[in-house]
Structure 1
Amino acid sequence: MDLAPKQSDVADSSALKSTAESRLKNFMKEVTGRALVMMESATQSQHGIATDLVQEAFISLHKSYADKSTEEWYPLFYTILNNKLQDWRRKEARRAQPFSFFRKVTLDDEDLELNDVIDESTPNPFDFIDRAVTADEIKAAISQLPARQQQAFMLRAWEGFDTHTTAEIMNCSEGSVKTHYHRAIQGLRTSLAHLNPNMGGSSE
């Protein structure tokens, strides 16, 4: 029995690999900029670390999910990226506190969920502030938010994921996403209020 692969099978496999690589290149072009902004905010403007996290997420995506559709890649990519960010943060926390392995590392202290928080289905980062405030000013303010608030805001307002998908990416409940997003908006309004005297500090 001839166990050698047929020529057509080899050609099909090569074509599929080429197609996946082409799709990945297009996908990377589309999301790299936004992903870097998110990671730079989360790592306190450490561009090298942010770039490494994004690149590692792309490698893992292609290695494990090359056969998925491009639409499926979006939440998968950000889930992978979030996991790599959390791994990096844990390492940094342990490096800063050498004996922290004797206790649970707490990365965020805002896990209590608020009740009846309204989370719009299609948020826009400019909807809750004056249009005169620039994107750079918003990004600078975002970098001052706690990490989970940053993630919730960027995934919801900048990437446009719904609450359910954002919760899956962040590995938390939908209520937590609403809480983090709600508090992020409060924090941004407060930190940007000095740029516009008419901007209120309340999120209501």
Structure 2
Amino acid sequence: MDLAPKQSDTADSSVLKSTVESRLKNFMNEVTGRALVMMESATQNQHGIAMDLVQEAFISLHKSYAEKSTEEWYPLFYTILNNKLQDWRRKEARRAQPFSFFRKVSLDDDEIELNDVVDESTPNPLEFIDRAVTAEEIQEAIAQLPVRQQQAFMLRAWEGFDTHTTAQIMNCTDGSVKTHYHRAIQGLRASLAHLNPHLGGSSE
């Protein structure tokens, strides 16, 4: 029996697996830091929980979407991460409210969409940083925002996703993203205004 084709298939499979593992390693090195910042803010600085969520998202990405291109991994990874965060938040909410299984648990206090919100351009996060405002102070200000506002800001300003892609990741409407993002920018400007007088606050 000719075993050459099987050996060739095995070799091709080994190379493909090695390539995927290499791509995933590079991808993890690039996004882990930002993803952890996002999850630490969303979990109120519970580093262990944040790390678990990020690692679980990477595992799911590798398990279900290994054949996708690296560019496709970005929105897929954050969609998975968002879903895991929402699952964790629901469990925490039910733990805090023992009888919440009898009713739908509301996770957000700012889901009402604002009418006619302009789809603001994606700012460079560094615009908030000058000699008076440090990265640590920005992270602290982000952590004070409601979780959905944190997500909208981080996905748009830090990851550079557009409104529609952000909405797909967050599993909400484009209008909700615009609302969360608009409020996040206002909240950050208000929180950081005393540190940087050039920022100022804006009113709706």
| TM tier relative to shorter chain | over 0.9
1:180 and 2:194 correspond:
no
Aligned to 2:23: 23
Shift of 1:98: 0.8
SS in 2 for 1:194: coil
1:1-204 alignment to 2 at 5 Å?
A: 6-127=6-127, 129=128, 131=130, 132-202=132-202
User: Structure 2 CA distance, aligned partners of 1:15 and 1:126?
Assistant: 40
Query: Would you identify which runs of 4 or more consecutive aligned residues in structure 1 move more than 4 Å?
Result: 1-5
Superposition TM-score, scaled by structure 2 size: 0.93
Amino acid at match of 1:42: A
Cα 1:119/1:125, change in 2 over 3 Å: farther
Amino acid at match of 1:34: R
Are the counterparts in 2 of residues 182 and 203 from structure 1 also a CA contact under 8 Å? no
Q: Which runs of 5+ in 2 are unaligned?
A: none
Amino acid at match of 2:122: T
User: Structure 2 CA distance, aligned partners of 1:120 and 1:197?
Assistant: 21
Cα root mean square deviation, aligned: 1.9
User: Structure 1 CA distance, aligned partners of 2:76 and 2:129?
Assistant: 33
Q: Which runs of 5+ in 1 are unaligned?
A: none
Range moving further from structure 2, 41-50 or 113-122: 113-122
Shift of 1:107: 0.2
Shift of 1:136: 1.1
Deviations 1:1-26 (A, max 9, x none): 99997111111111111110110000
User: Structure 1 CA distance, aligned partners of 2:10 and 2:198?
Assistant: 65
Are the counterparts in 2 of residues 189 and 203 from structure 1 also a CA contact under 8 Å? no
Shift of 1:168: 0.3
How many pairs does the alignment contain?
Answer: 203
Identity %, equivalent residues: 86
User: Structure 1 CA distance, aligned partners of 2:203 and 2:157?
Assistant: 15
Shift of 1:126: 3.7
Shift of 1:172: 0.3
Amino acid at match of 1:30: E
User: Structure 2 CA distance, aligned partners of 1:5 and 1:44?
Assistant: 54
